[in-house]
Amino acid sequence: MEPTRVRLTIPDSVDPTVLMGPADSLLRQVEDSFADSMVTVRGTQVTIIGPTREVERVTSVFSRLISMVEAGEVPTTDDVSLLVGQAQHGAAGPGSDPGEILLTYRGRPVRPKTEGQVRYVASMRDNLMTFGLGPAGTGKTYLAMAMAVAALRRHEVARIVLTRPVVEAGESLGYLPGTLQEKVDPYVRPLYDALFDITDPERGTSLVEQGVIEVAPLAFMRGRTLNDAFVILDEAQNTTPEQMKMFLTRFGHSSRFVITGDTTQRDLVGQSGLDSARRVLEGIEGIQFVELDRNDIVRHSLVARIVDAYARAESGAGAGRKGGSSHE
């Protein structure tokens, strides 16, 4: 059977040296990932030769890389690993990407990078309430923050409310030194980190001081109605069913809620409010649950390997317990 040949033309707006990486490192990474295909680059022409299925995958990877560079991004080896994984697993291509969410204050575009993230962002756009569930590194909090800031910039909401349950590790907040805000800050710091990566720290601090952006522990939500707000509840696996019900019933007019959580990283004993919410609310119009998995991890590639290692260990421990019980 004759090998398939595809020729791509690098647009004038794309710097080939950025596309191929320093000393062609990204090009070599793609070649190593698809050993049955040959990739040749001459000037602005990229020629891919090999088995039809693999050529299609290599073409998909280069097409996405070209789109990234056109959007002003500088691809990294982690980006290539992600794109290769998507191509090999038949993940969604550029046509299903809902597009750029916003530009950070540094001019970097924020957009979903995986099939799961595409579904997550689409749900946040289309539903009043979205639950984003998945392991660390899948962009649950960061993409929710980007959507919140974008909605604020477009004047779709008047404020952003960011909240987390305060899980105390054997100490009461009252015994910690400092003011109440100083006591709470370590618990909500990841929300500030995401905010200040998207918005200029000086501008972000000003919005917090004005009350346009509020960062508070979950306990502070009791008795309130959150109108005209984009509200993010982070680390929701650490809520009790009672706390979750309390939070969800704060929903007000012209608001959007996003609830994020990872059921594998729970710090509380007993039933999780996240689990109970899924059981009670699944199928209600305006509410959607989006599952993200290890294929959606966009943090450093080491994170995906860590998640896999723990999953294998926990699976083995579970099998061991089952095996042990059969001899009792």
pLDDT value at 129 more than 90: yes
List the domain range (segments joined by +) for residue 50. Answer: 4-90
Whether residues 104 and 227 share a domain: the answer is yes
Whether residues 48 and 138 share a domain: the answer is no
**Site of tokens 């974008």:** 150
Whether residues 162 and 132 share a domain: the answer is yes
Whether residues 67 and 209 share a domain: the answer is no
pLDDT value at 283 more than 70: yes
pLDDT band at 300 (very low <50, low <70, confident <90, very high): low
Whether residues 166 and 58 share a domain: the answer is no
Whether residues 139 and 217 share a domain: the answer is yes
Q: Phi, psi at residue 25, to the nearest 5°? A: -65, -35
Whether residues 71 and 185 share a domain: the answer is no
Domain boundary among 63, 90, 117: 90
pLDDT band at 21 (very low <50, low <70, confident <90, very high): very high
pLDDT value at 251 more than 60: yes
Whether residues 70 and 120 share a domain: the answer is no
Whether residues 20 and 120 share a domain: the answer is no
Task: Give the Cα-Cα-Cα angle 24, 29, 33 (nearest 5 degrees).
Answer: 150
Whether residues 43 and 122 share a domain: the answer is no
- Portion of the chain with pLDDT greater than 90, in percent: 47
Whether residues 74 and 132 share a domain: the answer is no
Q: Domain of 210: which CATH number?
A: 3.40.50.300
pLDDT of 328 reads 37
Coil vs helix vs strand at 193: helix
Domain count, the chain: 2
Sign of CA dihedral 244, 191, 134, 288: positive
pLDDT value at 325 more than 80: no
Query: How high is the mean pLDDT of the chain?
Result: 84
- Label residue 231 exposed, middle or buried (CB < 10 Å: 0-12, 13-18, 19+): buried
pLDDT band at 1 (very low <50, low <70, confident <90, very high): low
Average pLDDT of the residues in 52-64: 89
With contact defined as beta carbons under 8 Å apart, do 158 and 165 qualify? Answer: no
Whether residues 253 and 275 share a domain: the answer is yes
319 within some domain: no
16 within some domain: yes
317 within some domain: no
Whole-model pTM? 0.70
pLDDT value at 210 more than 70: yes
pLDDT of 327 reads 40
pLDDT of 227 reads 96
pLDDT of 190 reads 81
Q: Domain of 57: which CATH number?
A: 3.30.1370.10
pLDDT tens track for 92-120: 444 444 577 888 887 778 888 888 999 99
Domain boundary among 90, 114, 137: 90
Tokens at residue 313, please?
């260990």
CB atoms within 10 A of CB 223: 7
